[in-house]
């Protein structure tokens, strides 16, 4: 009896070890790991190569007045940190971008789902949204200053106008991409319109919604920075404007670098939320 129990215990232990061994030796898993390492190393090599080429070209091939250099940009970043300009600028831009992103994305999702649910409403309002989307957003900044002043509200609203349309169009596309046969089956089973929206339309549109959100993150930062260049005495946009007016090329590049890093970080956060929200979706190979 004891020997049988031991054997059973071994049988339970062996599969776990065998599974680990399979995962360690599976050619497809090893290939994906090699690909991941190759991608990371290649990206790092490209960054190092680009920075090295930039540093060598600055002052030798092209005047550093026009393109600055990585070392000068690093010095400008250190200067911004020492004089206390960097952190308040980042905080101001992040606040405005986050507020505009929340308003624009929320409105885009709600109206996109509404248009997806009601074909009649979509047909009525479609030409008006096409017309609004055709307006150059930058041309709205003077009007927003006139209507809302030069506070955070103007920057957030302007940012929301940039974020709204990508999220709206992706949400609408996701709602229209739903399997109509599945909706018909739910109707036959007596499901209400709310049940159809909650159980079919929203899950179907989520993949499209997150695609729109990832696309809109750079627009949120662009909107905040552009509005700051017009209306503010703080933020990364204001810092870019001031350094450009002073012919401080290194300072301008440093401000743009921080803006780029913020964009990458915010996009990564949205992608992380997407992976958690869409855990049911098969992982990409």
pLDDT, one tens digit per residue, over 32-74 is 888 888 999 999 999 999 999 999 998 888 888 898 899 999 9
Same domain? For 116 and 255 the reply is: yes
* pLDDT tens digits for range 6-16: 444 444 444 55
Could you tell me the two tokens for 129?
A: 């949204």
Of 35, 57, 79, the one marking the end of a domain is 57
* Cβ 186 vs Cβ 232: under 8 Å: no
Render pLDDT for 166-205 as a digit per residue (tens, 0 to 9): 999 999 888 887 777 777 777 777 777 677 777 777 777 8
Whether 152 maps to a domain, the answer reads: yes
Query: What is the rounded distance in angstroms from the CA atom of residue 179 to the CA atom of residue 260?
Result: 39
CA atoms of 63 and 199, how far apart (whole Å): 60
Give pLDDT, residue 25: 56
**Number of other CB atoms surrounding residue 172 within 10 Å:** 24
pLDDT of residue 131 exceeding 70, the answer is yes
What is the Cα–Cα distance from 266 to 261, expressed in whole angstroms? 9
Examine residue 284 and state whether it is found in any structural domain, yes or no: no
pTM to 2 decimal places: 0.79
Residues 184 and 81 in one domain: yes
Question: In sequence order, what are the beta bridge partners of 62?
Answer: 58
Containing domain of residue 77, as a range?
70-277
């Amino acid at each position: 009896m004891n020997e049988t129990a031991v054997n059973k215990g071994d049988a339970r232990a062996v599969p776990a070890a065998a599974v680990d061994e399979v995962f360690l030796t599976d050619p497809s898993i090893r290939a994906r790991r090699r690909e991941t390492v190759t991608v990371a190393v290649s990206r790092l090599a490209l960054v190092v190569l680009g920075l090295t080429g930039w540093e060598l070209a600055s002052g030798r091939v092209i005047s550093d007045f026009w393109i600055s250099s990585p070392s000068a940009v690093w010095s400008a970043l250190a200067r911004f940190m020492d004089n206390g300009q960097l952190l308040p600028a980042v905080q101001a831009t992040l606040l405005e971008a986050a507020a505009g992103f929340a308003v624009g994305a929320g409105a885009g999702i709600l109206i996109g789902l509404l248009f997806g649910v009601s074909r009649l409403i979509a047909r009525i309002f479609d030409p008006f949204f096409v017309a609004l989307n055709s307006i150059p957003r930058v041309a709205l900044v003077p009007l927003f200053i006139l209507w809302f002043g030069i506070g955070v509200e103007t920057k957030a609203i302007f940012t929301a106008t940039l974020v709204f349309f990508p999220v709206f169009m992706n949400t609408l596309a996701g709602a229209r991409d739903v399997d109509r046969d599945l909706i018909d089956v739910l109707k036959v089973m007596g499901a209400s319109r709310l049940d159809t929206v909650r159980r079919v339309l929203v899950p179907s549109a989520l993949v499209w919604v997150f695609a729109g959100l990832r696309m809109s993150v750079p627009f949120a930062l662009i909107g905040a920075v552009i509005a700051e260049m017009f209306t503010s005495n703080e933020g990364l946009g204001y810092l870019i404007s001031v350094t450009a007016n002073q012919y401080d090329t290194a300072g301008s590049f440093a401000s743009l670098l921080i803006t780029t890093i913020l964009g990458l970080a915010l996009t990564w956060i949205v992608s992380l939320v997407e992976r958690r929200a869409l855990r049911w979706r098969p992982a990409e190979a």
